[in-house]
């Protein structure tokens, strides 16, 4: 790691996104998703399963008031297991004092408040802020006096809190609460929720840590790691960074905490049965209870009997939690893909802030594992619905894909953090691929329905009739009981600017090109130049450099960056990504009023350093050819198939354009521009084999549901079915000429139910 490359996301307040593409997406989130989500949190969406999220906070708030009033006379509810997802018998009549929903239902609020916060940075809205403040009041009122804040245990029995980190998501709730609180503080300057998050984190730090007497656990569902880093960055309090590091250091080490807590729960249950109460090793009380010798003996005997159960908890299940190995030893991305992405993001954060090279090396290995072996061409990850997880290398089924929207979001998180360590176009390319394809596919063009699972091939009949595809829906759903994807999508889209731009003292990186306005605060001193920034003498002052960005992305490769405001001394470096998909590019740079001929290029970024003045500009043209892509032949599903990519956008064929039975089509390499000569040169290099731009394939701008987009017209052949028995003697297939219409993958399933495929036969 080289510290001079380190960067942080640009403050969202410095970014105004106004381009047609991203503004539209952000407005959908602001005007459709966030209001809908608030109704859902309050169980007011007719026909949808209630969330019970605000119900739970209100119930816990009443209990806290009761606790305060009753004082020492307060009798907390004794723990009774409620189940991972508990629903009232009559959904309309929940017991007002009980917890309902998933154990992690609190995070519905946290994700909502985070997205709200982001929108408030670029679209102040006093009414929304008022609603948010009131919701924060409700949430903060639910906090236990020691800082603990998870309504499942507050309402079901605090005596058993933090006894099932593996599956009960308390630290996941802490993580999301922290992310939401930090965002809201950054957006509004209001710190009520931030303080609540700090208190919860402080309490967690009092329970978990390397010190003797503290528990050695870590989250079953990661996110606290990256969230605690954010809390450290917002508050400057190192305890939070240390707790994040502790969670990472503990993960997957022996003795395995998930076995230890399993054993503790088992002993507790044995004790419950025998009426002996707490047992040896029960971590819920730091003070060991006095007890008779016979109870101790029983405890030891029970502990000896436990190993039979340990065997049942085999190593395979730990991989699901990325807890199968210490994190610095991990090399293959495994397990639940969202958890994995969150963990790797936290690892990258901690590696950067602590200078941990071994941690960073693990991040790099895990990144390569994903990108070289486990990534869909749509930027999605998670090949199998079993555990919503990464499958084994090159197992990337199209129809049975899981490719959860949240997993693509988590991958973008990870990519942005790798960019923060080292700006390399490899990371930005994948971040862009995830954002423009799987993440956006998660939401309908009208912002009213969502995909949880993002297949690369859908045949509605198969989705309905094939139980192996039970997880795949051919149309987006309004909401989900486990409502992770829509709010997660809301928080990343509303904070898109934080993925487009990162900065350090003297450099502003453009990772993604989004039209709008962006301001960098530059530290200026005497004789300051970006080249010798840092410890130059004199009192540092700040200057503002405001840039106007115009771009046709993702539909063409033109970008123009114009300096519209600049302090005289606004000297800094602009680092401009040269996308990996661009076959060729050209830059016209005017800096300091003069045309600049040379610039440094490193890891796919063009670095232009200078003193910028109003009217300066950088004009970029990236060639945006259509690329016909094939997969590594180890991806068995895709052998003999091709997919089409143009710029950041992956394409697909839909029934609405091409009729049923998409599998009968094959794209025609000759028609596309692969001549017979090239065909006879199988060792032809990439460059020579790629078709000339426009040769054979037509690119047409169209409008769908008020959404302009480029569609592709691809020369193809369509098999003419000839009837006959189920199995017939081979004959060269009868085919007719056809033209396939391909639309951006993110725009599929907006015209009713129908077939879709990304990969087409060649």
Catalytic, 406? Answer no
CA–CA separation, 16 and 5 (whole Å): 25
Catalytic, 289? Answer no
Query: Considering only CA atoms, which of 518, 545, 513 is closest in space to residue 624?
Result: 513
Closest contact distance (angstroms) between CB of 729 and a second copy is 5
Distances in Å between the Cα of 147 and the Cα atoms of 136, 143, 174, 196 are: 15, 6, 11, 7
CA–CA separation, 719 and 447 (whole Å): 37
Burial class for 687, CB neighbours closer than 10 Å (0-12, 13-18, 19+)? exposed
Closest contact distance (angstroms) between CB of 2 and a second copy is 25
The residues near 321 (Cβ < 8 Å, ≥ 6 apart) are 166, 220, 221, 258, 335, 336, 339
Q: Which of 140, 173, 363, 484 is catalytic?
A: 484
CB count in 10 Å sphere of residue 135: 21
CA 235 and chain centroid, separation: 24
CA–CA separation, 184 and 658 (whole Å): 46
CA–CA separation, 173 and 227 (whole Å): 10
Q: Which is nearer to a second copy, 43 or 637 (CB)?
A: 637
Q: Which helix (H) or strand (E) holds 259?
A: helix 257-274
Q: Which is nearer to a second copy, 601 or 734 (CB)?
A: 734
In the complex, the residues that contact a second copy under the rule CB under 8 A are 371-373, 375, 377, 384, 386-387, 391-392, 395, 400, 459, 461-462, 465-468, 627-636, 639-640, 642-643, 645, 661, 663-664, 666, 669, 674, 678-686, 689-690, 719-721, 724-735, 761-762
Contact between 601 and 578 (Cβ < 8 Å): yes
CA–CA separation, 179 and 491 (whole Å): 10
Give the three-class secondary structure for 397.
Answer: coil
Contact between 108 and 172 (Cβ < 8 Å): no
SS (H, E, C) 355-384: CCHHHHHHHHHHHHHHHHHCECCCCCECCE
> 315: which 2 tokens?
């190593």
CA–CA separation, 502 and 49 (whole Å): 39
Contact between 119 and 32 (Cβ < 8 Å): no
CA–CA separation, 171 and 167 (whole Å): 10
712 DSSP 8-state letter:
E
Closest contact distance (angstroms) between CB of 305 and a second copy is 14
Instruction: Examine residue 204 and say whether the peptide bond preceding it is cis (omega within 30 degrees of 0).
Output: no
CA–CA separation, 551 and 559 (whole Å): 4
Query: Considering only CA atoms, which of 296, 307, 318, 300 is closest in space to residue 263?
Result: 307
CA 370 and chain centroid, separation: 14
The residues near 476 (Cβ < 8 Å, ≥ 6 apart) are 443, 444, 449, 450, 451, 749
If phi over 0 gives left and psi between -120 and 50 gives alpha, with beta otherwise, what is residue 24?
alpha
Per-position b or e across 219-233, b if 16+ CB within 10 A of its CB: bbbbbbbbbbbbbbb
CA–CA separation, 219 and 208 (whole Å): 11
As beta bridge partners, residue 511 has none
DSSP letter string, 16-73:
EE-SHHHHHHHHHIIIIIHHHHHHHHTT--TTSPP--HHHHHHHHHHHHHHHHHHGGG
Distances in Å between the Cα of 203 and the Cα atoms of 63, 174, 200, 343 are: 20, 10, 5, 21
Contact between 640 and 762 (Cβ < 8 Å): yes
Q: Which of 373, 388, 432, 503 is catalytic?
A: 388
**DSSP strand pairing (85-86 vs 15-17):** unpaired
CA–CA separation, 202 and 183 (whole Å): 19
CA–CA separation, 672 and 692 (whole Å): 9
Q: Which helix (H) or strand (E) holds 619?
A: strand 617-622
Catalytic amino acids?
Answer: 388, 484
């Amino acid at each position: 790691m080289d510290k001079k490359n380190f960067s942080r996301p640009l403050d969202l307040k410095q970014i105004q996104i106004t381009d047609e593409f991203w503004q539209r997406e952000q407005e959908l989130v602001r005007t459709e998703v966030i209001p809908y989500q608030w109704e859902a949190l309050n169980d007011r969406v007719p026909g949808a399963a209630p969330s019970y999220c605000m119900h739970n906070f209100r119930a816990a708030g009443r209990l806290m008031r009761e606790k305060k009033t009753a004082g020492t006379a307060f009798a907390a509810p004794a723990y009774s297991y409620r189940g991972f997802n508990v629903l009232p018998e009559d959904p309309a009549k929940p017991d007002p004092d009980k917890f309902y929903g998933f154990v992690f239902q609190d995070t519905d609020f946290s994700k909502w408040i985070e997205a709200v916060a982001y929108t408030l940075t670029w679209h102040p809205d006093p009414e929304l802020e008022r609603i948010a403040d009131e919701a924060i009041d409700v949430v903060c009122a639910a906090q236990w006096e020691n800082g603990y804040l998870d309504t499942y245990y507050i309402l079901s029995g605090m005596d058993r809190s933090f006894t099932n980190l593996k599956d009960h998501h308390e630290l996941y709730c802490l993580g999301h609460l922290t992310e939401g609180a930090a965002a809201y503080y950054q957006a509004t300057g209001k710190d009520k929720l931030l303080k609540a998050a700090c208190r919860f984190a402080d309490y967690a730090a009092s329970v978990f840590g390397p010190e003797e007497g503290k528990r050695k656990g870590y989250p079953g569902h990661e996110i606290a790691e990256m969230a605690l880093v954010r809390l450290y960055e917002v508050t400057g309090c190192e305890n939070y960074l240390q707790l994040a590091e502790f969670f990472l250091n503990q993960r997957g080490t022996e003795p395995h905490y998930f076995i230890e807590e399993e054993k503790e729960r088992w002993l507790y249950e044995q004790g419950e049965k025998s009426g002996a109460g707490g047992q040896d090793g029960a971590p819920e009380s730091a003070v060991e209870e006095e007890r008779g010798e016979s109870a101790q003996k029983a405890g030891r005997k029970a502990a000896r009997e436990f190993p039979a159960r340990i065997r049942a908890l085999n190593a395979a299940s730990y991989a699901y939690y990325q807890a199968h190995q210490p994190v610095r030893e991990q090399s293959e991305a495994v397990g639940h893909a969202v958890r994995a992405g969150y963990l790797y993001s936290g690892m990258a954060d901690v590696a950067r802030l602590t200078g941990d090279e071994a941690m960073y090396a693990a991040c790099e290995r895990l990144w390569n594992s994903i990108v070289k072996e486990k990534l869909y061409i749509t930027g999605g990850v998670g090949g199998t619905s079993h555990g919503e997880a990464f499958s084994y290398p090159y197992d990337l089924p199209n129809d049975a894909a899981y490719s959860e929207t949240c997993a693509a979001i988590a991958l973008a998180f990870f990519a942005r953090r790798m960019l923060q360590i080292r700006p390399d176009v490899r990371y930005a390319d994948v971040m862009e691929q995830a954002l423009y394809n799987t993440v956006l596919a998660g939401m309908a063009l009208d912002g009213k329905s969502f995909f949880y699972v993002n297949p690369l091939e859908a045949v509605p009949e198969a989705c309905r009739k094939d139980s192996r595809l039970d997880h795949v829906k051919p149309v987006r759903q309004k909401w989900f009981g486990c409502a992770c994807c829509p709010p997660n999508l809301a928080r990343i889209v509303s904070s898109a600017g934080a993925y487009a731009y990162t900065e350090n003292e003297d450099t502003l990186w453009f990772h993604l090109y989004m039209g709008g306005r962006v301001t960098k605060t530059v530290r200026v001193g005497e004789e300051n130049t970006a080249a010798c920034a840092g410890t130059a003498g004199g009192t540092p002052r700040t200057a503002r450099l405001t840039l106007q960005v115009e771009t046709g992305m993702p539909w063409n490769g033109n970008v123009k960056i114009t300096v519209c405001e600049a302090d005289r001394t606004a000297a800094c470096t602009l680092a401009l990504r040269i996308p990996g998909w661009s076959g060729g590019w050209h830059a016209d740079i005017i800096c300091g009023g003069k045309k600049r001929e040379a610039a440094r290029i490193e890891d796919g970024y063009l670095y232009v350093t200078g003193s910028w003045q109003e009217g300066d500009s950088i004009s970029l043209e990236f060639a945006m050819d259509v690329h016909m892509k094939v997969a590594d032949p180890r991806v068995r599903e895709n052998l003999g198939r091709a997919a089409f990519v143009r710029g950041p956008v992956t394409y697909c064929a839909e029934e609405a354009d091409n009729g049923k039975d998409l599998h009968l089509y094959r794209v025609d390499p000759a028609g596309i521009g692969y001549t017979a000569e090239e065909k006879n040169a199988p060792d032809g290099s990439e460059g020579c084999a790629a078709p000339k731009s426009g040769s054979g394939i037509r690119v047409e701008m169209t409008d769908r549901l008020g959404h302009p987009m480029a569609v592709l017209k691809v020369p193809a052949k369509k098999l003419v079915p000839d009837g006959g028995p189920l199995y017939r003697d081979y004959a060269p297939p009868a085919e007719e000429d056809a033209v396939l219409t391909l639309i951006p993958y993110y725009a599929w399933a907006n015209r009713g139910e129908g077939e879709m495929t990304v990969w087409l036969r060649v």
